[in-house]
């Protein structure tokens, strides 16, 4: 059986095997299990953190003072991370399964299947696939750990291919498969899928409208399936619970105009590219050979393809021009166009730079190059056609392998370099985890990617917090950044601020030059400055746990995560004699149960970041009661404590005791109810999709013997 298949698909087997060999050679570290990979945006996570990941639904608790989970769509692979962590896999191994290996393989195979289907030429598909998988913007995404974006770039040609199949075959099964893959893409990166959706829409206008009467209801069914599958994140966002957090991110201004131009767009050249290890934000000159591909494409445009190819060439030409126009960002021509699009087109405000549109140029290029090569292939009866095809093919492959060179040679760095956790952080880890009580750690000037953190022991970045929760207390003058960072320790209420923030330890990380992560160069370039500052504080005590370079200071009088006070407390007048601990149980990051016997009114303090959707409910509260404001108590007394935390004024006489004769309250984050409802809808929709695909597969399988009998 295998021999017959090999004979039938011999050429395709050779091309696919070659692509896999190129993939493995250029991504060697990504296929080697047992190593540690972490760089830039990819922060290392210990098993203890991974196991808790599934609990972080609408509120993320293990970092800073907590925050709404505006990236709730990622729960698909976060749940998988959590499961794989629980069965014993390490962080890099999990990353390899969910991101690294799929990106590496799909980056080459995805365009291969698209172009093979369009041109019916395996050799052209091979050349196009090598080109798409080796463009410098795509490789730089992988280098910097922008893995969710890289995943969609790798997946985009496959999604377009599945839409083409759905339109051509027009079966419910094909539309469901397209919907599922499209949904998976959105779960990884909705911003890039927004761009993919525009591309799909343009393709549908070209090739779907003529058959709209036949496929229209299936298209709308696919949209309905996507909405159902995505209900777990659509409902919490649609409730308006995250609008402020989303606006804070979406309303950021344009970034890095100097790094984009019409020339870098045309040549698909990322300005950090050096031909070896990239130098981020360095404005590298464009090597001459990067102009070969644009020249080839312009040459193809001078010769009109045959009529049957004109429509597809026009489609890819529009995609190519659209990508070039958007990736040039604010450069000439039309320098204000990108900002106008951000202000005018719904959803476009998500894009701070043109870098998200690089893959659109790549997709346009592989379409135009493929049909150009196909045109030359059809001219094979002419000598110039054969020579032209060979020369263009060789040129594309040489340029592609020049780009892949530093990856193959192993000197690309970034996410392609193996890392080693410094011993100091391995010493710190058990010291933190073996303490059962709740507390936070504050990292000065900022946290290390190797620092342990969990729901019970969140970590805080000093430099980030002085511009967010502690912005009211931070010095915003034009002092050097290192002085602004430590200024928070020199207030007359600094000790109280650490106490109410539940901070037990302040940690000064080491200079991690071995892992290309020496962030001190951005914060004064000196560890001694921070050590000397903390050594001079009488309310902190330096402790020795056996670390060599990491310094640890203890704040002994920190307050618990939840506590009560008989009076209203302020930072400058914190009276701890009026503060009492209260029994509470952590259910998950969005829910806590409090039990008490106090009969007099008191203030309930909760040291998570203030959010209007933190609510108090009585002991009989269930998640499905969370939609109505009538099911919450003391909501009118909910206010900011110390300017950034939560506080309620509780009068026990207004609530009933439980069956044990105690008072019981629930602290609850209201959007979680919408998440649970959405999860039920999404789970049901997914079950129906998979159920139908299994049913359809079995039905088709039963038909095959009957068809053979009829033919006989």
Query: Using one digit for the tens of pLDDT, what is the confidence trace for 417-458?
Result: 999 999 999 999 999 999 999 999 999 999 999 999 999 999
Task: Report how many helices (DSSP H) and strands (DSSP E) the chain contains, helices first.
Answer: 27, 16
Cα gap 243→317, rounded to integer Å? 37
Least confident stretch, 5-19, 399-413, 508-522, 582-596: 5-19
Going by C-alpha positions, the residue among 366, 104, 141 that lies closest to residue 272 is 141
What residue spans of 144-250 are helical by DSSP H?
147-169, 172-188, 190-207, 212-229, 231-238, 243-250
Does residue 243 have a pLDDT over 50?
Answer: yes
Residue 444 confidence (pLDDT): 97
Q: How far apart are CA 29 and CA 104, in angstroms?
A: 11
pLDDT at res. 710: 60
Q: Is the peptide bond before 445 cis (omega within 30 degrees of 0)?
A: yes
CA–CA dist 35, 93 (Å, integer): 8
On the question of a cis peptide bond just before residue 426, with omega within 30 degrees of 0, the verdict is no
Sort strands 459-461 and 440-443 into parallel, antiparallel or unpaired.
Answer: parallel
How far is CA 645 from each of CA 47, 561, 632, rounded to the nearest angstrom? 29, 11, 19
CB < 8 Å & 24+ apart, contacts of 533-542: 533/486, 533/489, 534/444, 534/489, 534/506, 534/508, 537/489, 537/494, 539/494, 539/495, 539/498, 540/506
* pLDDT tens, position by position, 21-70: 999 999 999 999 999 999 999 999 999 999 998 766 899 999 899 999 98
Distance separating alpha carbons of residues 142 and 407, to the nearest angstrom: 11
Q: Which two tokens stand for residue 39?
A: 């760089």
- CB burial of residue 697 (10 Å; 0-12, 13-18, 19+): exposed
Phi, psi angles (nearest 5°) of residue 597: -125, 10
| pLDDT number for residue 655 | 92
- Per residue in 308-354, pLDDT tens? 788 999 999 999 999 999 999 989 899 999 999 998 998 888 898 99
Strand partners for 645: 641
Confidence of residue 554 (pLDDT cuts 50, 70, 90): very high
* Sign (positive or negative) of CA dihedral 93, 94, 100, 106: positive
* Average of per-residue pLDDT across 520-534: 96
pLDDT tens-digit series, residues 483-504:
999 999 999 999 999 999 999 9
Q: Given this model, what pLDDT does residue 2 score?
A: 47
The half-sphere exposure of 617 on its side-chain side, counting CA atoms within 13 A, is: 26
Measured CA to CA in angstroms, residue 258 lies from 204, 261, 271, 566 at distances of 35, 8, 10, 57
- Tell me how many degrees the CA angle 269-136-133 measures, rounded to the nearest 5: 135
Give the pLDDT score at 191.
94
Q: How far apart are CA 148 and CA 185, in angstroms?
A: 9
Interatomic CA distance for residues 190 and 175, integer angstroms = 20
Q: Report CA-CA distances (Å) from 82 to 62, 152, 587, 669.
A: 14, 22, 17, 22
> How remote is the C-alpha of 615 from its chain's centroid?
29
Q: Do 77 and 152 contact (CB within 8 A), yes or no?
A: no
Cross-strand bridge partners of residue 639: 647
- Cα distances from 624 to residues 54, 237, 330, 568, 671, in angstroms, run 20, 17, 48, 33, 11
**Percent of the chain, pLDDT > 90?**
80
pLDDT of residue 579: 97
3-state helix, strand, coil in the chain (%, to 5): 55, 10, 35
Q: 683 in helix, strand or coil?
A: helix
Mean pLDDT (whole number) for 115-130 = 96
Residue whose tokens read 């091309």: 15
Q: Which of 439, 452, 457, 453 is nearest to 498 (CA)?
A: 439
The mean pLDDT of the chain is: 92
Residue 508's DSSP bridge partners are: 551
pTM, two decimals, is 0.94
What torsion do the CA atoms of 514, 520, 522, 524 make, to the nearest 10 degrees?
A: -150
Nearest to 176 by CA among 224, 114, 213: 224
Neighbours of 634 (CB within 10 A): 17
367 neighbors 312 (Cβ within 8 angstroms) = yes
User: What confidence category does residue 279 fall into, taking pLDDT thresholds of 50, 70 and 90?
Assistant: very high
Lowest pLDDT segment from 224-228, 311-315, 612-616? 311-315
Judged on CB neighbours under 10 Å (0-12, 13-18, 19+), 10 is: exposed
Predicted local confidence at residue 257, as pLDDT: 86
Span 136-153, pLDDT tens digits: 999 999 999 999 999 999
Residues 465-485 have a mean pLDDT of 89
The 3 state secondary structure assigned to 624-660 is HHCCCHHHCCCHHHCEEECCCEEEEEECHHHCCECCC
Structural contact between residues 506 and 560, judged by C-beta atoms closer than 8 angstroms: no
């Amino acid at each position: 059986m295998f021999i017959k298949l090999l004979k039938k698909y011999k050429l395709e087997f050779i091309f696919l095997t070659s692509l896999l060999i190129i993939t493995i050679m250029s991504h060697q570290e990504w296929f080697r299990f047992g190593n540690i990979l972490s760089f830039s945006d990819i922060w290392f996570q210990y098993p203890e953190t991974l196991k808790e990941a599934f609990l972080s639904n609408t509120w993320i608790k293990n970092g800073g003072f907590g925050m709404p989970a505006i990236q709730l769509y990622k729960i698909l692979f976060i749940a998988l991370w959590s499961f794989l962590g629980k069965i014993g896999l390490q962080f890099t191994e999990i990353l390899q399964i969910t991101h690294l290996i799929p990106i590496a393989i799909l980056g080459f195979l995805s365009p291969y299947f698209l172009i093979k289907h369009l041109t019916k030429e395996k050799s052209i598909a091979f050349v196009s696939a090598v080109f798409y998988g080796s463009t410098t913007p795509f490789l730089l995404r992988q280098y910097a750990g922008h893995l969710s974006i890289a995943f969609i770039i790798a997946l985009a040609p496959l999604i377009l291919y599945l839409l083409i199949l759905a339109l051509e075959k027009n079966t419910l099964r094909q539309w469901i498969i397209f919907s599922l893959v499209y949904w998976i893409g959105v779960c990884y990166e909705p911003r890039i899928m927004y761009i993919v959706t525009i591309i799909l829409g343009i393709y549908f206008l070209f090739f779907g409208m003529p058959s709209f009467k036949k496929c229209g209801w299936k298209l709308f069914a696919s949209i309905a399936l996507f909405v159902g599958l995505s209900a777990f994140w659509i409902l919490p966002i649609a409730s308006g619970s995250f609008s402020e957090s989303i606006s804070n991110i979406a309303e950021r201004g344009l970034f890095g105009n100097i790094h984009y131009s019409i020339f870098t767009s045309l040549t698909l050249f990322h300005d950090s590219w050096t031909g070896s290890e990239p130098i981020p934000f360095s404005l590298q000159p464009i090597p001459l050979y990067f102009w070969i591909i644009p020249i080839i494409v312009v040459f193809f445009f001078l010769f009109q393809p045959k009529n049957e190819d004109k429509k597809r060439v026009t489609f890819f030409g529009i995609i190519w021009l659209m990508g070039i126009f958007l990736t040039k960002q604010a450069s000439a021509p039309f320098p204000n166009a990108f900002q106008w699009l951000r202000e005018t087109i719904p959803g476009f405000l998500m894009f701070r730079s043109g870098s998200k549109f690089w893959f659109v140029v790549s997709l346009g290029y592989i379409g135009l190059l493929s049909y150009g090569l196909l045109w030359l292939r059809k001219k094979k009866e002419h000598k110039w056609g054969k020579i032209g095809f060979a020369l263009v093919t060789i040129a594309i492959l040489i340029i592609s392998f020049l780009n892949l060179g530093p990856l193959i040679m192993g000197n690309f760095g970034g996410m392609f370099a193996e890392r080693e956790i410094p011993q100091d952080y391995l010493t710190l880890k058990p010291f933190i985890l073996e303490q059962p009580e709740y507390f936070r750690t504050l990292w000065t000037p900022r946290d290390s990617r190797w620092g342990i953190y969990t729901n019970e022991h969140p970590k805080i970045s000093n430099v980030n917090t002085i511009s967010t929760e502690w912005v009211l207390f931070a010095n915003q003058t034009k002092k050097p950044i290192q002085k602004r960072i430590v200024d928070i320790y020199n207030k007359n209420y600094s000790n109280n601020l650490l106490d109410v923030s539940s901070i037990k330890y302040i940690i000064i990380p080491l200079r991690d030059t071995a892992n290309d992560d020496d962030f001190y160069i951005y914060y004064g370039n000196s560890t001694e400055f921070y050590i000397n500052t903390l050594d001079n504080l009488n309310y902190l005590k330096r402790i020795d746990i056996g670390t060599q370079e990491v310094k640890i200071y203890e704040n002994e009088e920190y307050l618990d995560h939840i506590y009560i006070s008989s009076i209203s407390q302020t930072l400058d007048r914190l009276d701890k004699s009026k503060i009492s601990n209260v029994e509470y149980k952590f259910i998950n990051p969005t829910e806590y149960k409090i039990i008490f016997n106090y009969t007099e009114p008191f203030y309930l303090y909760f040291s998570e970041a203030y959010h209007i959707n933190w609510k108090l409910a009585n002991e009989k509260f269930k998640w499905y009661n969370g939609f109505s404001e009538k099911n919450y108590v003391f909501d009118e007394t909910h206010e900011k404590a110390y300017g950034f935390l939560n506080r309620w004024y509780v009068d026990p006489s207004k609530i009933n005791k439980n069956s044990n004769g105690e008072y019981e309250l629930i602290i609850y984050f209201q959007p979680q109810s919408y998440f649970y409802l959405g999860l039920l809808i999404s789970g049901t929709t997914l079950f129906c999709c998979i159920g139908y695909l299994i049913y359809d597969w079995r039905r088709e399988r039963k038909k095959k013997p009957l068809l053979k009998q009829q033919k006989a």
